[in-house]
Structure 1
């Protein structure tokens, strides 16, 4: 038995199709009209300063008055400026530290808590609380801990001045930032681990796999998209770090904790070399763009949803 479609049905369907397309286009246009004010504001607030930064990076602008074009002089100077190169090395050190220590702590805590039913929420809250504190509060707490006069280290009988020593100042600031940051990572990883199929762990236990083997062969592959994304954000935030170093050491002692962000600030507002500082900012932006594009390429290649 065969079925036929009448010409009237075909004609009606062909008439409805353009109407549906027009309706969809109207909805899209309405959405864009609602978004237009916000997009215009973002273009003005973000795009405007970005364009000006690019322009001033090719000038000798002091922050006030006229700016004379100097071509690539500011960018060439970056490669011979010992202060900038040291600041960039400090940024790289900071990035490596935060890719290993906070993420490692967060992964370990998330895995252990995800396998625990009793008291899990209490530990989540305790570990997450530092993240809710203002940066200035956390920085002040750790300045007091490190104080060579009345700090905990002094109370333990050590005369080490953590923030006043060239070799310990940057790690000291990094530890303070880690204390605040790792709890947030832990919560993110716990949420990601909740999406891993529990039957995989059950099958692994039946096969005799221990906790470490389950972590490496099931948990890590299961949360890899989230792990890579948080790694990306950690890299970007590490190159943009400013607040903790500015508050706790101001870039000292002797520039040992300066990162590009603090050096940029000092260059622009202390030595009034705004054009040169703009070039530093452009370099930071380019690093962030390259890292982001690398992640997007990896995301498309692996077919990740995050």
Structure 2
């Protein structure tokens, strides 16, 4: 066999073997991802209770969503949640990582301590904070007993004024340590000679952080911003565990509203339309990111 044909045959054979090994994974993905995705598109165009036959109604579910004040309120809460998590945990993560990068002793210990809440199951974290923020047997009651009553009788998860912020606080408590570890790893990959050059030029620590650290970790930072945008659109676990969207819809987000429509109100077709609408918004976010990259934005 000529050398060129032999190389081509070897390359094709290697590719065939690689795809042969990948075939089970591809089949599983088609079964558990592509199949349900196509089914969701179909059911979003139907009037379906989740059990019986589905009646095709076209785009009526989407038209209904446009005028649904409950959906609009839930989407507003998703936007508020997104703003919170694009600012507070990222700022805390950057600050924590920068402070840790300045020390050498016990750095691994602090990494583990910060990361532990992220490793604990969300049900456990939520239960802990439900007890801690209980106005009677939690921190408020304990402080009131020693003459500090400012948290007494404040129902953080039961008051419409505080509920969304309180649940976001609990979720942030478990999440920001993950960002600390991630940003710290990115900071340690920044070329140390850049810091030396900045110090020679008279830059203080803040100027070094702004002009050297942030540009050095920009790919990691941008990636996490993108992921937080997507995660905030589909947030579910902490809200559902702690408040189930209450009190009075004060913490209702699209995911919890979707769950109620699908499993409590037997309106699975409308729930499918809600889910696809959030998928569409997520696709716009991701598409916008890649569009900016393609246009030459340094992100």
After TM superposition, the score normalised by the length of structure 2 is 0.94
Residues 121/302 of structure 1: CA separation in 2 closer, same or farther (3 Å cut): farther
TM alignment of 1:52-67, pairs within 5 A: 52-67=39-54
Alpha-carbon distance in structure 1 between the residues aligned to 2:76 and 2:206: 34
Q: 2-side partners of 1:148 and 1:303: how far apart?
A: 49
Of 276, 285, 288 in structure 2, the residue corresponding to residue 291 of structure 1 is: 285
Check if 1:160 corresponds to 2:161: no
Aligned to 2:202: 208
Superimposed CA distance per residue, residues 50-86 of structure 1 (whole angstroms, 9 cap, x where no aligned partner): 1111101111101111111111110011111111000
Instruction: Give the equivalent residue in structure 2 for 1:235.
Output: 229
Looking at structure 2, the residues matched to 67 and 216 of structure 1 have their Cα atoms a distance apart, in angstroms, of 56
Contact kept in structure 2, 1:154 and 1:160, CA below 8 Å: no
For 2:245 and 2:83, the matched residues in 1 are separated by: 19
1:271 alignment counterpart? 265
Count of equivalent residues: 292
Counterpart of 1:191 in structure 2 is: 185
Q: 2:106 aligns with which of 115, 119, 129?
A: 119
Q: Deviation of residue 17 (structure 1)? A: 2.2
**Could you tell me the TM-score, scaled by structure 1's length?**
0.92
Alpha-carbon deviations, 1:150-187, whole Å to 9, x = none? 11023232221100111110100001011111111111
Q: Which runs of 5+ in 2 are unaligned?
A: 144-148
- Is 1:40 the counterpart of 2:56? The answer is no
2:59 pairs with 1:72: yes
1:81 equivalent in alignment to 2:75: no
Between structure 1 and structure 2, the one with the greater Rg is: 1
1:181-214 Cα offsets, whole Å, 9 max, x none, are 1111111111111111000001111111011111
Alpha carbon RMSD of aligned pairs, Å? 1.5
Q: In 2, Cα distance between the equivalents of 1:57 and 1:128? A: 39
Secondary structure (helix, strand or coil) at the match of 1:195 reads: coil
